[in-house]
Structure 1
Amino acid sequence: MAPKKSVSSEDPRKKRLKSKASRDEPPSLDKSFASSEYLVRFHDDISRRTVVFGKIVDFPYFANHHIHIRELFQAQGWENFLSTRQKQYTTLVKHFYTHFQFIHGKISSYVKGKSISLPHSTLASILGVPRTGAQRYTTNSWVQFEGYDPLESIRQMCGNPNIQELSRPKIADLTLESRLIHHIIAHNILPRSGSYEYTSYLDLFIMWAILNKVKLDLAFYIAWHMETCVNKKNGALPYGLHITTILNHFGVDFSGEKETRDVSHKDVYGETTMRTNELKLKLQGMKNQCKRIKSLEAHLLGSSRMNEDNFQLVLGRLDSLATSMGNIQTSIDNFSAMVTRKFSTYDEQFGTLETSIQEINERLINQGI
């Protein structure tokens, strides 16, 4: 007799739910995470975010083409920071931000069993940037800083001293030098994803400081920007290639890491960037030309109406002037008539006087006097 098949008493629906749960279950805890809380945070949030690699600035290229931005970043002490070329370990960057905390000006984190502590001075030292400079961080208003006049700075960045309205300029309105500086800010100083065609309040302050060689504390901005991005829902994770420098300093083991990114030609600010900018400038020039033509058409039409209005106004004024001149002429005529009458009277009186004098003379002669 064949043995009976064992029949499971478990509900098939529960089995399907358990199977689905096992597929969705986060990976088991290992030394990659300090606790199960961080494991859940990584699985539910950080693992899904984009990492901003950054850009490498080819300063020699710009110098050879007489675009003098190297001196501006040398004045800040950021040339080496902006020229760093190294691999990004994407998973480890996400682990860094999974454990990221920023308390009392100090960053702390944990990656692959290594505890990371980054006071301001340590962060600056690891990244090779000065530890001093201005510290102003705001995202929703004009930066308040002695010597910083937002309107004057916008005039400088746009190369237009006639700007009167205080508003954040579009990238297309900036000079080529200011545009390049803004691109470096958007990819390296305050890295973000998405559109780079806008300027923030903080972008404009940093651009002003760079253009005028006002020293900034880069480590301060990096720490605060990390904090802002990691706390922003679905915010991109900045400084991908520079976190490699930090992890290397703390002896994190990179072996076995599969999710990496190497530097490509698209990551370098140089010839490719300039060609892209030149194309954008040409397209923008064509758009501006179209706007000028439309503006000229409107001006000409407006001028025609304005000239007609002015003509009618002038005619009205001429009529008024003619009336006034007529009144003046009448007054002159009346005055002339009055003078004529007066002189006629005087003539008559002088004639009578002359006759009287002649009669007196004749009488005197007759009397022998």
Structure 2
Amino acid sequence: MKAKLAMLMALILAASLFAGCGSKDTGGTDTGGGAVQPTGETVVIYQNKVEIGEPLMAFARKYEAATGVKVDVKTSGGDSPYAENLKAEFQSDRQPDIFVIEGMGGYNTWKSKLTPFEGEEWMGLTDLAFQVDGVVYGFPVAVEAWGMAYNKNILDQAGVDPSTLTSQQAYRAAFEKIDSMKEELGITSVVAIGAGPDLRWVTGLHNFNGYLSAGLEYGDTTVIDKLNAGEADRERLQEYADWVELLFQYADRAVLLTGNYDAQVGQFGTGKSAFVHQGNWIDPWLADNGVDFPMGFAPHASVYGEHDSIFIGAPSFYVLNNESKNLDAARAFLNHMATTEDGHDYMVNQAKMVPAFTNVTLTPDAPLSADVAMWVKEGKAYTWLQNDMPDGFGMGTLG
């Protein structure tokens, strides 16, 4: 796991070193000026990130124009339960060629449907592929991270220095102060967080990851190993419960209990909350809605003690359906994404992601992804482990 943290750092450093050194032409594949004839092949990709749905469809159209292979992008996520909808796709005649799994939990659910990647060019460009017993099954979608995203303007007005937000005591004092100034600051709540049926993944997966890895060295799986063996660290769990209670206490009740993704992120994006419990994947939403105030991440104080890191990892992976009749075309599409200027432009500039590949020389200009790059450079990361829980435990039992 330490090697994975080193890989995350190398990705950011490489992008920084090469930024501005290469051609700015992201025109991509040269089709020779003529129309490419359709091949008759259609690759169906079923993915779980609503934020990248439109950019991915645009990239797919560009790919079709260059190669003649149609790529049909289907998206389920955000307010819609991806895992449940994916199972419905497989129970019908709509099985995708490419779909998404997250961690060992996803692998254990879908392993009978997977076929490995072998000899792909992109495999030599990342150490973050999903592997089981040395066999590569997953193409890393992106490096992602979350912390307590904050509106710097609001914190400045309130006299709160985000660098001091490293413990539950510090957050409690800051929340109390900001809450007492809500009218002056023009906000309706201190924290935008959702725990309703549309946002079970926020509380049941992401927030719970604080119990699993906050304050521990990167790669430390002590807590989740105990959890998966049916054992809880009761003292740590109580500390985590105190954090949840603090977040809920200073949240907007309507957003907390019944709000959807747009309501939660919109509260932050419109300057009506000082913090939002989300990650750098909200960058496309912020860009689409013209949000331009300065922002960044502070650590989650998920348990007692001091915290100096945010949660960083490559949690989502494109995998291949072993019953697909278009496996070669599916492999080619993913390889194109990882190895061409068009693919790099899509990942960084259009989808606002931090790619998991060392050959990408573009750097993110989206505010939260840029902040993630800073945390990665400094080696300040806690492990992303919630996807290694049993399938359904986070979203079903906890969410």
The TM-score range, normalised by the shorter chain, is: under 0.3
Q: Give the number of the structure with larger relative contact order, counting CA–CA contacts within 8 Å between residues 6 or more apart.
A: 2
Larger relative strand fraction = 2
Larger relative helix fraction = 1
Structure number, greater radius of gyration? 1
- Structure 1 length-normalised TM: 0.24
